[in-house]
Amino acid sequence: MSLSYDLYWSFRSPYSYMVVPRLIALEAEYDVVCNVKPVYPLAVRTPEFFETRDPLWVSYFMKDVFREAAFLGLPFRWPRPDPVQQANGSYRVPQPHIHRLTHLGVAAVERGRGLAFLKEASHTIWSGEVENWHEGDHLARAAGRAGLDFAEMAEAVDADPDRYAAVVEENQLEQRAAGHWGVPMMVFGGEPFFGQDRFDQMVWRMRQQGLAARAA
């Protein structure tokens, strides 16, 4: 019997970008299924979280993300543009990029290619290999690499944004009910594993529950 886990994931989270290659490798090698549940980033859900942080939080975070990417051997640069918009240091402004990105993630999940789209889109956004990831055909090419028809998917998202927003809201409620609010967060057997650095612990727990190699 396949094991399964839920993945709460944000397009604005560098750590979410960093965990995806390991999740894909896990699914390729073992009989396990990832249930992708895209959520909006904290900067959009609860902007006050960042307004009350100690200044050292930001300086440490910016050191750590570059160090962690180098440790994992992943190309990394802060996105240009940032998926979340700011004005005068505040996130309380319209957010055209992150809402559409997250809704596209939901659409990819509904088409059975959720994890593949997360990998390709986040690489486009975070690797530093693409300028202005939101323009031209960058996202369309990412979707194509993930086995998706971007034009069809984007048309569906743009035609009914309220439905996709409702799915994201439900994911966010489920995430908190599962025990945390941050991303990436994996939930296996009712147990939350918050942070890309908890990947190995999740696999350890899966082995205790009979994780088996995927049949050739």
Catalytic residue (one of 2, 4, 13, 127): 13
The dihedral region occupied by 73, where left means phi > 0, alpha psi between -120 and 50, and beta the remainder, is left
Residue 77 CA: distances (Å) to CA of 90, 102, 127, 129, 157: 22, 20, 6, 9, 28
Give dist(CA 86, CA 99) in Å, integer.
14
- The H helix count followed by the E strand count for the chain is 10, 4
| Active site annotation includes 59 | no
Give dist(CA 202, CA 206) in Å, integer.
6
Residue 90, classed as helix, strand or coil, is strand
Return the active site residues: 13
